[in-house]
Amino acid sequence: MAVPYTFATATSAIPLSQLDSNFATAITLGSTALTLGTTTTTVAGLTLTGAILNGTVGATTPTTGAFTTVGASGLITSTVGNSGTILRGSTATNSYIYPVYVTNTSGGVQLALEGATSGNVLVGGTAYATVLTTTTNTPVEIGINTTRVGSFSSTGLSMVQSIGVGNTTPSSSGAGISFPATQSASSDANTLDDYEEGTWTPIVGVGFTGVTYSSQHGWYTKVGRSVVISGRVNFSGTANFNNISITNMPFTMATLGGGAYGGGGIPYADYPAITNTSPYVGGGNASVQYYSLGTGSAIASGVNASGNWISFIVTIAT
Amino acid sequence: MSLTKTTTVDQITVTENGIVLYREATRIIEDGNEISKTYHRSSLVPEQDLTGVPDSVVAICNTAWTDEVKSAYRAMIEANQAKLGA
């Protein structure tokens, strides 16, 4: 087709492909509106000054300044500010996406709030709206600082390290559930609300006099209201043994209805009086007493326990 | 890199019968970040000798162990021993 030299007198549409092939220099259209048809056209090295993307597709009246610049880094920036909308759904208000950045790197789409300390990146329209999902049965991955920290899958939540409950900072070592340092007690019978492990120092409260120790060791683990407590002492000197009681336990046995008590067993003892004996923790007490099985009487012996070991492990409820 | 170790009483509990439970937390801090924390617990019964016990715990004991609490605790112990034939 013949290319009109003066566009103003053109009476029919001019394919851009003809412009590409016939003009080696830049084209200035001035204030004349340029309408592109449905033909796919490649324009290389296009530079526009002023409002470069102005208005919406269709017959709607353009909104001046909705998009003004495309920076050298590829960012599309809205001049409206942090509340400006760059991408918007067609109807519902909640279909707005409010990011300042919408970038595509390595095939992925990143949504972010720039400089904001709060705000919703994605908001569902109803209580159970799906706001983040995959379209196949593959996990939704979660990352921090570009490092994977966990994922949601159809079978549950998987975390690389720990989970903190009660607003607890998860432990940085190992993997597990981190509970608050101080128990946040739940009244629900099916809720695990506490975990703690530590040490304590067994001390002979009554029974012996003139007690000296070669070693004193105690460990405990509390899971919910149950506490497993173990202790072991080695005497370097004792005298006047009678009705031994080991005190300074880390927790007290709860005072429950029916005279509840805690107890357990004796892993090792080489003291002659500790025979057929059971450790016992009465309600409201923080001490272990030794009673003979069968007779129920407190054990008693006048034998010096110097050099002997006495140990126990009990389970109590708090 | 700086490492510091601190031990503090971070929890004190007084039970209904006057037993005082307290917990000491030992923390290892590296450049301001806690890298380790361990607990050691102890318990004190009314009228117990408080030698060597941390001051903050002694203060609680002296407040909690009223004459009424001491008497009630003695009575509880004697009742428990009588029940078990000790």
Report yes or no: A181 at the B interface, CB cutoff 8 Å: yes
Residue A114: both structure tokens together: 């720039």
Per-residue three-class SS string for B46-79:
CCCCCCCCCHHHHHHHHHHCCHHHHHHHHHHHHH
- Nearest-CA neighbor of A1 among A9, A13, A43? A13
- Classify the phi-psi angles of A79: left when phi > 0, otherwise alpha if psi is within -120 to 50, otherwise beta: alpha
Q: Mean pLDDT over all residues of chain B?
A: 91
A58-94, pLDDT tens digit by residue? 433 444 444 444 556 655 555 554 444 455 444 444 3
**pLDDT at residue A20, as a whole number:** 52
- CA–CA distance, A251 with B21 (Å, rounded to integer): 7
Nearest residue on chain A to B43, judged by CA atoms?
A248
More confident residue, B28 or A275: B28
Q: Do B43 and A182 touch (CB under 8 A)?
A: no
Higher pLDDT, A258 or B79: B79
Cα dist. A117→A121, A123, A144 in Å?
12, 17, 16
Q: What is the dihedral of CA A43, A45, A49, A55, to 10 degrees?
A: 30
CB contact under 8 A, A298 and B84: yes
H or E element in which residue B81 lies: helix B67-84
Nearest to A281 by CA among A291, A293, A266, A273: A291
The confidence band for B38, taking pLDDT boundaries of 50, 70 and 90, is very high
Instruction: Give, as one character, the DSSP assignment of residue A7.
Output: G
Cα A234 off chain centre by? 44
Interval A9-42: pLDDT, tens = 556 666 555 555 555 555 555 555 555 555 555 5
Please give the Cα distance from A284 to A252 (Å, whole number): 6
How long a stretch of residues is chain B? 86
State which residues of chain A have pLDDT below 50.
1-5, 51-69, 81-85, 88-108
In this complex, the residue of A182, A201, A252 whose CB is nearest that of residue B42 is A201
Give pLDDT, residue A261.
Answer: 85
Q: Is any Cβ of chain A less than 8 angstroms from the Cβ of B8? A: no
